Amino acid sequence: MKYPIPDPATLKLMAEKAMPLNRQLFKRWKKKPPRQLDEVVKEIHDEVFESLDCLACANCCKSISPALYYKDIERMAAALRMKPSDFMAKYTREDEEGDFVFRLTPCPFLMSDNYCQVYESRPKACREYPHTDRTRFYQILDLTLKNTTVCPAAYYVVEKLRGTNI
């Protein structure tokens, strides 16, 4: 099955409609995480990402910024042959939580064909988003709910999780 990429406004509506059921399920898992949760989420993650084209979406790069660690900044600055301090001054700001993020959204490195200009050197958080293949998934249930409103893949993963009996 090929997973369609809804436009951002439609995805938000779909995610908000599913939110009460998703919250109910995650509330249960927060109290008692199923033993096989990580295994099941990873299986669903792989299936969804095999059948979904991130290049037709790029909504994460268009609407939110990853948290940037100094190693990310050093790597991207090196790829662009810049000093990290110049990179920081040009592209980053500190957010309300004290994390460094990109100054602008869409991301300054998102190109018109949705490719990433610094793909090989992209931040760790970009590589890992939407985190649906990480271990101890029960620790990021609230974040995942938030991600369903932005990321079609996260939305489909949670839809499929609701269809399981774990």
Least CB distance to ligand SF4 at residue 128 (A): 10
Please tell me what DSSP assigns to residue 68: B
Shortest Cβ 111–ligand SF4 spacing (Å): 8
Is the CB of 152 or the CB of 161 nearer to ligand SF4? 152
DSSP string, 94-154: E-TTS-EEESSSS-TTB-TTS-BTTGGG--HHHHHTT-TTSS-GGGGHHHHHHHTTT-HHH
CA distances from 110 to 61, 68, 102, 142 (A): 7, 16, 12, 27
Compare residues 26 and 91 and give the one whose CB is closer to ligand SF4. 91
CA distance 49 to 55: 12
Binding residues vs ligand SF4 (CB under 6 A): 52, 54, 57-61, 66, 107, 109-110, 116, 118, 122-123, 126, 129-130, 150-153
| For ligand SF4, the closer CB: 66 or 144 | 66
List, as own/partner pairs, every contact residues 19-22 make where C-beta atoms lie below 8 angstroms and the sequence separation is at least 24, other chains included: 19/145, 19/148, 21/162, 22/145, 22/148, 22/158, 22/162
Q: Which residues pair with 100 in a beta bridge?
A: 68, 94
Q: What beta strand segments (E) does 53-99 contain?
A: 92-94
Give the nearest distance from C-beta 165 to ligand SF4 in angstroms.
26
Query: Please, which residue, 145 or 150, has the CB nearer to ligand SF4?
Result: 150
Q: How far is the CB of 162 from ligand SF4 (least distance, A)?
A: 18
Q: How far is the CB of 153 from ligand SF4 (least distance, A)?
A: 4
